[in-house]
Amino acid sequence: MQRLDFIYFKDSPKGGRGIFTADYIPKDTLIEICPVLVLSNEDREKIHQTFLHDYYFLWDKEGKQAAIALGYGSLYNHSYQPNAYYQMNKDGQSIDVYAGEDIEPGQEICFNYNGQRFDDSPLWFEAK
């Protein structure tokens, strides 16, 4: 696992925990490589019955496989105006997190859960 040594988790004003930086991060910097555990469709269905439902990433275009991100991967919070983004590395079986803009010390690092940086589609936890 690879990550900047000055990022850390703590309680977030967004709720729960979040990932923050103690140092300046320039745009396009690789923040973290999060190894993943890839789950089958059958296992993905099972986690819908657990609290892990809110912590997995869709791993394939059909939405049948899921991935659980290790490291800090599942602790990054969502934003529709994110300062970071992630890329799926299928060959390396990781989710790689990058700075989408300069990030100042003390800022929370957030990405868009929709997968595209500025996709404003409603998320599963917003649709009621």
CB contact set of 127 (below 8 Å; sequence gap of 6+): none
- Domains of the chain with CATH codes: 7-111 (2.170.270.10)
Question: What pLDDT is stored for residue 63 in this prediction?
Answer: 74
pLDDT band per the 50, 70, 90 thresholds, residue 3:
very high
Q: Are 19 and 40 in contact (CB under 8 A)?
A: no
Residue with tokens 């496989």: 65
Do the strands 84-89 and 94-99 form a parallel or antiparallel pair, or are they unpaired? antiparallel
Instruction: List the one residue out of 64, 46, 67 whose CA is nearest residue 55.
Output: 67
Tokens of 23: 């140092």
pLDDT at 124 > cutoff 70: no
The per-residue pLDDT for range 98-123, each reduced to its tens digit, is 999 999 999 999 998 766 777 665 65
